[in-house]
Amino acid sequence: MFEDLGSVLRNLYSDNPQKQTGHTARISGPEASAPPSKTIIIAIVNQKGGCGKTTTCINLAAGLAKRGFKVLMIDLDPQSHASLGVNIDVHNLGVSIYDVLVKSTDLNSVIVPTYLNGLDLAPATSLLTGAQLEIADLLGREGLLRTSIWRMLNTHVRHYDYILMDSSPSLNLLTINGLTAAQSVLIPIQAHYFSLEGGRTKMSRDMLAQLKDYFKEKVLQSLIRMNITLAEASAHGKSIFDFDAASNGAKDYRQLTEEILLLTRPELAAAAAAATVTAPERESNSAVS
Ligand SMILES: Nc1ncnc2c1ncn2[C@@H]1O[C@H](COP(=O)(O)OP(=O)(O)OP(=O)(O)O)[C@@H](O)[C@H]1O
Ligand SMILES: [Mg+2]
């Protein structure tokens, strides 16, 4: 689903004169007042835990990087799973996304390269747990990340084609910062409640049908099958493409990457269509809307 939820939130807050005029000096300035024109900014959210947010963030980011795009992952979860999943040692970082949100540190200076060419990371550490409390009373608190991103991009300190943000399983102030910065929201949904043998496939299909009925074309075509290799890849600090390029997980995330490319860069439609692989019958799905 490519719902323009960021603008919904932006409108919500711009209707509030207190919040609008309350932006402090640290987040004002012309370079941070207009959205960057070329970067596609996506928040990956779901209040439900363990539904594949981080796995999707890492492997979609890696898929886009492998297609030649410059990608930044922003880890907005104090669990640091996205950072750990690309092999960043979060215990030995001088600065992290915490410093951007709480201390007005430039986003540029917390970004680290990953092992994967074209993929950078703004890492999270456990310090982020306290960030919410520390920014809770700030005016404009919901737009701190957006301003940092816009400033970095509009001053051409760094260029990115895509920015993907991983979030924790809660609609907290960190997640709201991600949503406010985003143009689009991607919601991974696990399409079964219980792993009941024999009943699982039907339940997945029924749930997917209901999702499509309700959300219609916002539900993506790509389905991610249950594949333990995805968990193994993350545990080894690698994307699925680098861990096991022939696995079902790699096939599924390759397809998701192509679908997101089609939606976000229609000019690539012709090339991507030629590369589309027909998906086999799926045993179990994660519908991503
Ligand atoms: N398609 C899949 N098949 C098998 N295991 C998967 C799949 N996708 C994710 N996993 C595993 O399931 C667990 C939860 O996935 P993940 O961490 O991506 O979810 P999350 O939504 O980010 O969780 P949280 O809400 O805690 O941040 C992880 O151990 C992950 O490796
Ligand atoms: Mg996660």
Domains in the chain (CATH in brackets) are 5-188 (3.40.50.300)
| C-alpha closest to that of 212 among 189, 196, 193, 179 | 189
pLDDT of res. 40: 96
Name which residue sits closest to atom 25 of ligand 1, judged by CA. Answer: 49
Measured in angstroms, how far is the CA atom of residue 190 from the centroid of ligand 1?
10
Instruction: Tell me which residue has its CA closest to atom 23 in ligand 1.
Output: 50
Q: What is the pTM of this model?
A: 0.86
Model pLDDT, residue 284: 42
Q: In which residue ranges of the chain is pLDDT below 70? A: 1-30, 192-198, 200, 269-289
What is the whole-number distance in angstroms between the Cα of residue 138 and the centre of ligand 1? 33
Paired tokens of 192: 């079964």
pLDDT at res. 202: 77
Question: Residue of the nearest CA to atom 8 in ligand 1?
Answer: 52
| Sequence-separated (6 or more) residues with CB below 8 Å from residue 79 | 124, 168
Q: What pLDDT does residue 207 have? A: 85
Which residue owns the Cα nearest ligand 1 atom 11?
231
Q: Give CA–CA dist 145/77, Å, rounded.
A: 14
Contact 74, 166 (CB under 8 A): yes
CA of 189 to the centre of ligand 2 (A): 13
Q: Ligand 1: which of 48, 55, 200 to mutate, judged by most atoms within 8 Å of the beta carbon?
A: 55
